[in-house]
Amino acid sequence: MYQVIIIEDDSMVADINCRYIENTPGFAVQAVFQNGAQALEYLKGHDVPLIILDYYTPVMNGMEFVDRLHGMGKAPDIIMVTSASDAQIVCQMVSRGILDYLVKPFEYHRFREALDKFRQSHERWHTHDGALRQEEIDEMLCSSAGKTAPSQILAKGLNDSTMNMIRRFLMENSSSMFTSEEIAERVHLSRITVRRYMSFMVETNEITSTIDYQTGGRPAIKYSFSKMK
């Protein structure tokens, strides 16, 4: 039985979420909280595999809750159930590793799909013992991300941690475009380093680049996720 906690300040919505969970075989509600602070206090002494989270709650929003949760060394799966549909908020939450994102109002079948997605993901990652072959890892990662292609291989000289830092910055600011110099300043990397990563991300169609002629001087190349293919 998968135990679930719900963080939702609207009692009516919380009741609906509870009924949906209780009507899904294999799932049970362990606790319900009106805000993230209460949930964090509870999670200091309890572990749960799944959290249903509203973005707009008192005391702290969903993003701050997830950051604090990860800061405690806890990483349960999280399904967002919220009215927050702004692209920047969605990107920020996706970059924090949420499992699924449901925008209110929604039907039970969509909620059930999210729970089934959790069940499949949890079983996939917790039914393997010992070392995994590269092919098994690729398959598990692709399935978790809903992809059919292998994980992207970085060009020589690039590393995942730096790539993820730059990617997360662009995703969290997806409504804006930046030059490599601006990105370098914001993520505290050298301009040369950022340019190399930008070139690679453009080549792999992860981001797009646009030439800005309105600089009053030399044209500048700007990058963004907002028009990603």
Query: What backbone phi and psi angles, to 5 degrees, belong to 92?
Result: -65, -40
Nearest of 35, 100, 91, 101 to residue 68 by alpha carbon: 35
For position 120, what pLDDT does the model report?
A: 83
From 1.10.10.10, 3.40.50.300, 3.60.40.10, 3.30.1490.390, which CATH number describes the 160-224 domain? 1.10.10.10
> 78 Cβ partners below 8 Å, 6+ apart?
50, 51, 53, 66, 97, 98, 99
For position 153, what pLDDT does the model report?
A: 66
Report the SS3 class of residue 2: strand
**Residue 192 is encoded by which pair of tokens?**
């040369």
CATH topology match: 2-126 vs 160-224: no
Name the E strands within 8-70: 27-33, 50-53
Instruction: Report the run of H or E that residue 103 belongs to, with start and end.
Output: strand 100-103
Per-residue pLDDT reduced to its tens digit, 142-162: 655 544 334 456 777 888 778
**Residue 226 is encoded by which pair of tokens?**
């907002």
For position 43, what pLDDT does the model report?
A: 97
For position 179, what pLDDT does the model report?
A: 94
Beta partners for residue 224, in sequence order: 208
The domain spans of the chain are 2-126, 160-224
For position 137, what pLDDT does the model report?
A: 72
Q: Is 2-126 a CATH 3.40.190.10 domain?
A: no
**C-alpha span between 171 and 207 (Å, rounded):** 10
- Asked whether 180 and 223 are in contact (CB, 8 A), the reply is yes
Per-residue pLDDT reduced to its tens digit, 84-113: 999 889 988 988 989 999 999 888 889 999
Residues of the chain predicted below pLDDT 50: 146-151, 227-229
